[in-house]
């Protein structure tokens, strides 16, 4: 299976090395957001030095200064995990980063609405909705009903996120035909602290 992998919420150099060694294609770092995996931009920038995989700065409603700082720091991608409008998403894309727009999914309508972003963002990431009252916008380790993705047209290339683990990633990739799968909690010992054994198991289970 040639599904690509994004490992998200990295906070330590050793975990970055383990993810790269395991063959992850995208490495994600949470910057300037309400997150238990939060890094400053400077901390995240230090972690991507020498990294060959695509590097993704994950943000929530970033302002122009943060977007430009992310570009200057050398990230290839920016992930928008907030309430960015279509116009704002397009504006951010014009600032020169590859844009991933995250979309919380609970119904086919969410998928239909999300596809409106296809023209503005380079990639869509379908994730589970945050639990009510939780201010953290992602990384909850919750799955959503993958069959919803079959109820509305999805772009040919998209990222599947939300509660993926070594145990369910192969089934998820087969059922949704996602081009890229994204994991944070499922390869962690605790928020932001990855477990190399789980990272390797995730890759092995996906590859079958």
Ligand X SMILES: O=C(O)c1ccccc1NCC(=O)[C@H](O)[C@H](O)COP(=O)(O)O
Contact residues toward ligand X (CB under 6 A) are 8-9, 28, 30, 33, 35-37, 58, 60, 81, 127, 136-142, 161-164, 182-186
Cα–Cα distance, 194 to 111 (Å, whole number):
30
End-to-end alpha carbon distance in the chain: 8
Q: Indicate the residue among 115 and 165 with the shorter CB distance to ligand X.
A: 165
Residue nearest to ligand X as judged by C-beta position: 139
Q: Indicate the residue among 30 and 120 with the shorter CB distance to ligand X.
A: 30
User: Least distance in Å: CB of 142 to ligand X?
Assistant: 6
User: Least distance in Å: CB of 66 to ligand X?
Assistant: 14
Cα–Cα distance, 64 to 45 (Å, whole number):
17
Q: Indicate the residue among 9 and 62 with the shorter CB distance to ligand X.
A: 9
Closest CA to 137 of 64, 31, 4: 31
User: Least distance in Å: CB of 37 to ligand X?
Assistant: 4
User: Least distance in Å: CB of 200 to ligand X?
Assistant: 17
User: Least distance in Å: CB of 73 to ligand X?
Assistant: 18
Q: Which two tokens mark 32?
A: 């300037």
Q: Are 149 and 126 in contact (CB under 8 A)?
A: yes
User: Least distance in Å: CB of 109 to ligand X?
Assistant: 20
Cα–Cα distance, 100 to 57 (Å, whole number):
10
Cα–Cα distance, 79 to 92 (Å, whole number):
10
Q: Indicate the residue among 28 and 166 with the shorter CB distance to ligand X.
A: 28
188-195's contacts with Cβ under 8 Å and 24+ in sequence apart are: 188/9, 191/9, 191/36, 191/37, 191/139, 192/9, 192/10, 192/11, 192/12, 192/36, 192/37, 193/11, 193/12, 193/15, 194/7, 194/10, 194/12, 194/15, 194/18, 194/19
Q: Indicate the residue among 93 and 105 with the shorter CB distance to ligand X.
A: 105
Q: Indicate the residue among 36 and 76 with the shorter CB distance to ligand X.
A: 36
């Amino acid at each position: 299976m040639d599904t690509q992998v994004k490992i998200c919420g990295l906070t330590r150099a050793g975990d970055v090395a383990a993810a790269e060694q395991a063959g992850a294609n995208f490495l994600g770092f949470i910057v300037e957001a309400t997150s238990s995996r939060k890094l400053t931009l400077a901390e995240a920038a230090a972690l991507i030095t020498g990294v060959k995989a695509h590097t993704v700065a994950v943000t929530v409603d970033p302002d122009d200064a943060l977007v430009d700082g992310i570009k200057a720091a050398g990230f290839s991608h920016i992930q928008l995990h907030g309430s960015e409008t279509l116009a704002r998403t397009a504006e951010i894309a014009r600032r020169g980063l590859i844009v991933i727009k995250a979309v919380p999914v609970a119904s086919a309508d969410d998928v239909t609405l999300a596809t409106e972003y296809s023209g503005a963002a380079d990639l869509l990431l379908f994730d589970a909705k945050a639990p009510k009252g939780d201010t953290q916008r992602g990384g909850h380790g919750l799955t959503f009903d993958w069959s919803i993705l079959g109820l509305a047209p999805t772009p040919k290339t998209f990222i599947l996120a939300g509660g993926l683990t070594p145990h369910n990633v192969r089934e998820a990739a087969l059922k949704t035909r996602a081009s890229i799968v994204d994991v944070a909690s499922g390869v962690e010992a605790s928020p932001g602290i990855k477990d190399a054994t789980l990272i390797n198991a995730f890759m092995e289970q996906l590859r079958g």
